[in-house]
């Protein structure tokens, strides 16, 4: 039986002792995702760009699925971390793209008044595989040409 959906180590992270995401309980929807390296997230200032936290992983899935990445429920209250775009959507064709091999990153803002350090191996979010539907008349044939933030470029 071939691969259906799952996680792999992204190129460039093969020797960094990256843990693939796992579910912690039998009925957990989300796979816990860890930081691939220590990262400092500065206190928020207006106009500041979010800090990208590398995970060192990529995800593969069937044609009619995407991977939703979401914040840990404890991050805003305990650490002041919010995901810049609310949730992240990882499309099937992001996997193995020519820009970054499909490397998944979390974009965080720190709403606290002091910087916070995320340590390598610390759980930063969760990843949930989801099915999606298409509207009548959808005839999209365009192909992905890049990595992070490349849609419609």
Within 10 angstroms of residue 115's Cβ, the number of other Cβ atoms is 11
Confidence at 149, pLDDT banded by 50, 70, 90: low
Q: Tell me yes or no: is domain 6-131 CATH 2.70.40.10.
A: yes
Place of tokens 């005839």: 139
Q: Which whole number is the average pLDDT over 102-126?
A: 97
Q: Return the CA Rg of the chain.
A: 16
Percent of the chain at pLDDT exceeding 70 = 93
Place of tokens 């990595």: 147
- Token pair, residue 52, equals 């990208």
Q: What is the pTM of this model?
A: 0.89
Would you state the pLDDT for residue 139?
Answer: 87
Nearest to 64 by CA among 115, 8, 5: 5
Nearest-5° Cα angle at 89, 85 to 95: 135
């Amino acid at each position: 039986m071939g691969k259906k959906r799952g996680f792999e180590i992204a190129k460039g992270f093969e020797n960094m002792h990256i843990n693939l995401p796992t579910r912690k309980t039998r009925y957990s929807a989300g796979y816990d995702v860890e930081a691939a390296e220590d990262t400092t997230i500065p206190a928020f200032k207006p106009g500041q760009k979010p800090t990208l936290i590398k995970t060192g992983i990529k995800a593969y899935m069937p044609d009619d699925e995407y991977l939703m990445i979401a914040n840990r429920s404890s991050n805003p209250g305990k650490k002041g971390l919010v995901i810049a775009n609310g949730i992240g959507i990882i499309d099937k064709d992001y996997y193995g793209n020519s820009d970054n091999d499909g490397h998944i990153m979390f974009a965080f803002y720190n709403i606290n008044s002091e910087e916070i350090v995320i340590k390598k191996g610390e759980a930063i979010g969760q990843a949930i595989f989801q099915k999606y539907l298409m509207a009548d008349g959808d005839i999209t044939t365009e192909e992905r040409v890049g990595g992070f933030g490349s849609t419609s470029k």
